[in-house]
Structure 1
Amino acid sequence: MDWNRTKSIFIFVFLILNIFLYWMYLNRYNEAQSVEILGEKTIEARLKDDNITYGPLPNSNVSATYITGEVHIFKNTAPNDNQKVSFTDDTHTQISAFFTNPVKLRNIDDASLIDFVHSNVKSGDSYALWEVDREERVAVFYQKKNNRMFYYNDSALLKVHWNMDNEVIKYEQTMIDNFEEMEQQETVIPPLQIFQTLYNKTLLKPDSSIKQVKLGYSTFSNLKATQVLIPTWEVHVKLSDGEMEEYFVDAIDGKIIEIQGDKQQGEEEDWGVE
């Protein structure tokens, strides 16, 4: 008996058998996946069934990374002669600036307020307008990096106050500087998967409309002098009764982040996308 020939035949047979078994495994896996896809609706279909609408979405192939920054220490100097600066505490990390001659605004609108900040506030072009409260006569700005806002960050905050004559009388400011980005860039979770996360947690209600989906930063670690900021999706939703709700989701890990003023907390459980 030619043992070498017999051994070669056995090896060939086993190779063919392994290929066949692997082919069978792939067929069954693909069939199971097909059944699962057919049995489970996509997030687009679920939103459509619940009459939840949304407009054009941001680019899904966006990269971002964690960044760190230091809380700025202000000096007792004003940007111009029309301002008097004082510190709110001994750390010199927050200032109040009062105008000797209040600055008249043409209108209380976004463009006028932004122009004022760019012209009268230290590093004013690094702040983005968040909201305008006409009843309280105050506009809230938060600092930004790479055109992405630092949501509800009290260390990167600017408040502009005006009187009944539309004259700016003072502002309060905090700031972060000396930024460093982590070398490793991460592809952020696409907006539709963020919708899936919110939908699975019943946060997207029927007959609502997703008005804004924007990428910014939230605070991961807030120490006295240093902060770690994480890429975060901001989602604004208009309910059927006209009320607005806002949600924040970690753009890397997909966790919903609870932000309330200077308090911020991530979920203990990872609400990943199904």
Structure 2
Amino acid sequence: MDWSKSKSIFIIVFLILDIFLYSLYLNRHTEAQKVEVLGEKTIEARLKDDNITYTTLPNIELAPYISGSVKHFTNEEMQAFNNHEVLIENETKIIVTLDQPVPITDVEDPASYVDFLQTYIIDGTSYGLWEIDKTNQSATFFQRINNRTIYYNNHGMVKVYWNANNEIYQYEQTLLLDLVEFEEKEELWSPIQVIQVLYSRGLLKPDSQITLVKLGYSTLVQFTQTQVFVPTWEIRVINSSGQQEEYFVNAVEGKVIDVQFDQSKVEEDEE
């Protein structure tokens, strides 16, 4: 990679991020005031009144932004894939059809995929299981940094497909390279503050159970080659009907975000 070009890209990224962080500094307290006033009762008391329970909350006060670059695959690299059929899509994604399908012990067991990831996937140990879709006979894995998941980024995922014999016959991969933490760590909204945000917006219904509160990352800034990711709280909830719900909150700004592939859309507060 041309060092001069790369240096210019990173300068632009950091400049944009500096402007963004300054805007957060100006509106953080204002944003906090938008959360519904709960009166004399604490959020813990309100949750108890509504029979909303939650798991042990993590104690993470600081975390950095991270950045990375998009892997571009070349035909020369694909020659190392032996007899497998390899298709390169938009230079950033490979679709590999195996010459011999690989049997999986139990498609619902995350441990069953470990050997496959380590053997067939480039930098396979950097991916963690996200979803198993038995209907479409597929499993999706998201890339991680320091055991923290990068949510719904098209450039950092693996998807495998199995046949009726529980054998993986094809997979897709994209890869983020050079994932590094920014030197400065940011102060995070605490899990209980994030729960209060969800509660004040009516997203947490009575008789719900918060089963997971976990810190990961979502996409903040995207360029052709460089990406910047913001610390993000992942909250999973089982509602009174037994259905699982999932929410993501920007851990630096405290806003609920709609995390989808290749976008991070902020949901504005309702007036």
TM over 0.5: yes
RMSD: 2.1
1:45 aligns with 2:18: no
CA distance in 2 between partners of 1:163 and 1:138 (Å): 9
CA distance in 2 between partners of 1:39 and 1:123 (Å): 51
CA distance in 1 between partners of 2:143 and 2:102 (Å): 22
CA distance in 1 between partners of 2:258 and 2:221 (Å): 14
> Counterparts in 2 of 1:5-84, with a 5 A limit?
40-61=40-61, 63-76=62-75, 77-78=77-78, 80-81=81-82, 83-84=84-85
> Counterparts in 2 of 1:57-136, with a 5 A limit?
57-61=57-61, 63-76=62-75, 77-78=77-78, 80-81=81-82, 83-89=84-90, 92-108=91-107, 109-136=109-136
CA distance in 2 between partners of 1:211 and 1:64 (Å): 22
What is the Cα deviation at residue 269 of structure 1? 4.9
Unaligned runs of 5+ in 2: 1-36
CA distance in 1 between partners of 2:263 and 2:175 (Å): 17
Which deviates the most, 156-165 or 105-114?
105-114
Q: Across the two proteins, how many residue pairs are aligned to each other? A: 232
What is the Cα deviation at residue 74 of structure 1? 1.4
TM-score (ref. length: structure 1):
0.80
- State whether residues 160 and 170 of structure 1, in contact with CA within 8 Å, keep that contact through their aligned partners in structure 2: yes
Structure with more contact order per residue of length (Cα contacts < 8 Å, sep ≥ 6): 2
- State whether residues 188 and 251 of structure 1, in contact with CA within 8 Å, keep that contact through their aligned partners in structure 2: yes
TM-score (ref. length: structure 2):
0.80
- Structure 1 residue aligned with 2:151: 151
- State whether residues 255 and 270 of structure 1, in contact with CA within 8 Å, keep that contact through their aligned partners in structure 2: no
Question: CA, structure 1 residues 38+153, in 2 after alignment: closer, same or farther (shift >3 Å)?
Answer: closer
Unaligned runs of 5+ in 1: 1-36
Letter matched to residue 195 of structure 2: F
Report which of the two structures shows the higher radius of gyration computed on alpha carbons.
1
> Counterparts in 2 of 1:127-206, with a 5 A limit?
127-206=127-206
- State whether residues 117 and 125 of structure 1, in contact with CA within 8 Å, keep that contact through their aligned partners in structure 2: yes
CA distance in 1 between partners of 2:135 and 2:162 (Å): 11
CA distance in 2 between partners of 1:180 and 1:39 (Å): 42
